[in-house]
Homo-oligomer: A and B are copies of this chain.
């Protein structure tokens, strides 16, 4: 049924994004363990992390070739004998995390992304648990097939469009997880989302779905109409030389999710927007350190600077169920997998409004 060799679009050097030079090739997936699931890929979202990794932007010492893509939805075509929650033929998904130790306090508490031994990424990772896959490299979803440890494979709930589900598996849960952790709609009624891109648009959509009053915070007004359609009832544009926007909106937000990758962000002004006790959560990772920050605003307003990494399988499941129940849809643009070279270039040029999803038509994905 599933081959011992998979076929995918590989990144072979750091110019692959700029030049659009991903190449089709075959490779061996991780060694099969009876806790694994093989997935015939229908859809795979295109995440900014894919580009950072393929181009070596986060880490120049890449172990090429890489098969990126970690918003995978497909059919479980081979299910290990020790897997209980997935059966052959199920529609399933895998996000950005493929494995972890499953034994530490974090893993046991549904916080696998903070595993004491580290998470194994769905691509660019190395499996370390005992088994046939130990030491093998992970390959992602710009491909026909994906093999994943079943702990990180979730069922896609009935009624949820699988192409819509795909980009939620990383982009969606990356914002959904901190929204829930910090009480969006309950203890945190007033929520701000910085940046309206792949992550930010999910931030607006899910914050609204959770019952919060949503403020979109963006450099310019260019995405204001979109942001309002996504659920924002307030909009703050931060362009211009003064920080009037910050003083005018001082202490209005309980929670801010920062999806920006801009290391030159006006951090102190963002902090001004928080009510005392509030949280500013980074989910985007600028390649440079944050601007210098004095302790006084932290002390005098008891505000919290923190960050959040993706989300556990449990949280992914909850998010997908909410999406199915409320008919929540990200704004996606479907593109054929075989056009991947044009797609990554368009993504790099910030053309996505707001998430590209690669469609594997050969496997039955629908454009």
Using a CB–CB distance below 8 Å, which chain A residues touch chain B? 105-106, 111, 114, 116, 251, 275-277, 279, 282-286, 288-309
Contact B289 A290 (CB under 8 A): no
Contact A293 B290 (CB under 8 A): yes
Contact B285 A290 (CB under 8 A): no
Contact B307 A299 (CB under 8 A): yes
Please state the number of chain copies in the assembly.
2
In the assembled complex, the Cα of A300 lies from the Cα of B301 at a distance in Å of 25
Task: State how many angstroms separate the Cβ of A229 from the closest Cβ of chain B.
Answer: 29
Known: A251-B116, A282-B295, A292-B289. A305 touches B302 (CB 8 A): no
Q: Residue of B at shortest CB range from A282?
A: B295
In the assembled complex, the Cα of A302 lies from the Cα of B116 at a distance in Å of 12
Q: Which residues of B contact A300 (CB under 8 A)?
A: 114, 307, 309
In the assembled complex, the Cα of A276 lies from the Cα of B307 at a distance in Å of 10
From the candidates B284, B289, B306, name the one contacting A294 in the complex (CB within 8 A): B289
Q: Residue of B at shortest CB range from A106?
A: B276
Q: Which residues of B contact A305 (CB under 8 A)?
A: 298, 304-306
Q: Which residues of B contact A276 (CB under 8 A)?
A: 106, 111, 114
Question: Which 4 A-B pairs rank lowest in CB-CB distance, beginning with the nearest?
Answer: A298-B307, A299-B307, A114-B276, A289-B292
Q: Which residues of B contact A111 (CB under 8 A)?
A: 276-277, 302
From the candidates B116, B282, B293, B299, name the one contacting A299 in the complex (CB within 8 A): B282
Contact A285 B295 (CB under 8 A): yes
Contact B290 A299 (CB under 8 A): no
Task: State how many angstroms separate the Cβ of A53 from the closest Cβ of chain B.
Answer: 14
Task: State how many angstroms separate the Cβ of A52 from the closest Cβ of chain B.
Answer: 12
Contact A283 B299 (CB under 8 A): yes
Known: A106-B276, A276-B111. A308 touches B304 (CB 8 A): no
Task: State how many angstroms separate the Cβ of A109 from the closest Cβ of chain B.
Answer: 9
Q: Residue of B at shortest CB range from A174?
A: B299
Contact A304 B304 (CB under 8 A): yes
Task: State how many angstroms separate the Cβ of A302 from the closest Cβ of chain B.
Answer: 6
Contact B114 A277 (CB under 8 A): yes
Task: State how many angstroms separate the Cβ of A261 from the closest Cβ of chain B.
Answer: 9
Q: Residue of B at shortest CB range from A305?
A: B305
Contact B282 A290 (CB under 8 A): no
Q: Which residues of B contact A106 (CB under 8 A)?
A: 276
From the candidates B292, B297, B302, name the one contacting A292 in the complex (CB within 8 A): B292
In the assembled complex, the Cα of A286 lies from the Cα of B296 at a distance in Å of 8
Q: Which residues of B contact A289 (CB under 8 A)?
A: 292-295
Contact A114 B301 (CB under 8 A): yes
Task: State how many angstroms separate the Cβ of A281 from the closest Cβ of chain B.
Answer: 8
Enumerate 28 A-B pairs (CB-CB under 8 Å) in ascending A order: A105-B275, A111-B276, A111-B277, A114-B302, A116-B251, A282-B298, A282-B299, A283-B299, A285-B295, A286-B294, A286-B295, A289-B292, A289-B294, A290-B292, A290-B294, A292-B292, A295-B307, A296-B307, A298-B305, A298-B306, A299-B309, A302-B308, A303-B306, A303-B307, A304-B305, A304-B306, A305-B305, A305-B306
